[in-house]
Structure 1
Amino acid sequence: MQSEFSKIRENQFPETLIKRNILIIAKRNFIPLLYQHI
């Protein structure tokens, strides 16, 4: 039931989830790059 509920939420709020995923991916990718340049 948890997975079905999450699917429904994804269908209702796709844009917010996409933006949230982009922010998470950006933090994972860019923060290590910043530390490498320091």
Structure 2
Amino acid sequence: MMPMVSADAIAIVPGASIPIEPGMPVEVLPFSRGIFGR
């Protein structure tokens, strides 16, 4: 699920606030919790 979450997060993160680089789960975790952790 990690790769899938990263792909979705990367598509939303850059347009939302900050650009995330491949290999930065720190930024993906908080976003994934809000998107997939209803």
With the length of structure 1 as denominator, give the TM-score of the two structures.
0.39
Compare relative contact order (CA 8 Å, sep 6+) and give the higher one, 1 or 2: 2
Bigger proportion of residues as helix: 1
